[in-house]
Amino acid sequence: MDLEVLVNQHFHELNENDLQIISYIMKHKNKCQTMPIVELAQKTLTSKSSIVRLAKKLGFSGFSEFKYSLKKDSDYTQRNEAQVNFSSLQSEDSKATAKLFNQTDVVPMLKEIHSAKRIFCYGTGWGQRDVLSDFRRNMVPLEKFLILLSAQKELQMAAASTFTEGDLLIVLSLSGDIQEVKDEMTLLKLKEIPILSITSLRNNNLASMATHNLYFQATPIVLNGEDIFSFFSLFQVTDSLFRSYLDFYQNNESERQVE
C-alpha cells in the first residue's frame, strides 16, 4: 500500500478530520504500525469511529487491515532503502518537472505577475523560503521587487490587513498541506486576491484553493523511517517561471518601444 496514492485516489471523499488523521499517520508511520486505535484517536483529537470510517474510505475493511497494510508497506520500504539510487532520481525528477511545466499554459500566470502592483511570496518551510528568496533575487532586474513573508504570523497579518486589489500571492509547498494557514488562504480567496501555488503533483488543499497552479516532481527516499527530499526540482520550476517571465517581459518591452 502507498498511502499517498490511496489518499490521492479518494481525496474527494475525505473531510478535514480524515486529512488530520492522515497527516499524523504520515508523520509517524512507524509508531502507527503498532498504535492502538484509542491512542491514535487521542493523538489526532478525533474518535475511533472517525478512524474506522477513514480506513473504509481508503478501501480497507477496518482499522486492523489498514494497520497491517501500513506495516507491510513499511517492511517493504525498509528492505528496499539500500537499493534505491537517490542520484538517479535527480534526472527522473528533472525530466518530469520540465514536462509538467511545458504542459502548463503559463501565460495567464505571466500576465498576473506582470500586472501585479505587489507580489508576496510565502514558503511553508525554511527550504521553500530559500527557493523563493532565489526567485526574488532573479526578478529584481525585471523591476519586480517581491515581498517574502518569512513566517506564518507575517502571512496572517498580511492577509488580514495588507493585501489589496492588484496584489498577487505566490505560495510554495512540498505537500500542499496548508492546514496551518487555511484560514488565511480562505480569507484571500474571499478578497479575490489571485494565488499562484507551486506544489508537488498531487491532489492537495493549496492547489485546489489557488487561482493558478505549477507542479514539480520531487521523489523522496526513505532513510531511517523518514522521507528525504531534494529541493532541486523546486529551484527548477521557479527558475523556469523566471525564464518564461523574462521572455514575456522582453516581448512587452519591444512592443512598447514600437508604439
Q: What is the mean pLDDT of residues 140-145?
A: 94
d(CA 209, CA 213): 10
Q: Report, at the CATH architecture level, how domain 3-83 is classified.
A: Orthogonal Bundle (1.10)
d(CA 187, CA 172): 18
| CATH 3.40.50.10490 for domain 87-258 | yes
Read off the pTM.
0.67
pLDDT in tens, 156-195: 999 999 999 999 999 999 877 777 788 888 999 999 999 9
d(CA 41, CA 77): 26
With 50 as the cut, is the pLDDT of residue 238 above it?
Answer: yes
Q: Which single residue is written with the C-alpha cell 485546489?
A: 208
d(CA 239, CA 23): 30
pLDDT in tens, 36-67: 999 999 998 999 999 999 988 888 878 887 88
* Distance spanning both ends of the chain, measured CA to CA: 60
pLDDT in tens, 2-19: 677 677 767 778 888 888
Q: Any idea where the domains of the chain sit in the sequence?
A: 3-83, 87-258
CB 124 within 8 A of CB 169: no
Nearest Cα to 173, choosing from 164, 182, 165?
Answer: 182
With 70 as the cut, is the pLDDT of residue 202 above it?
Answer: no
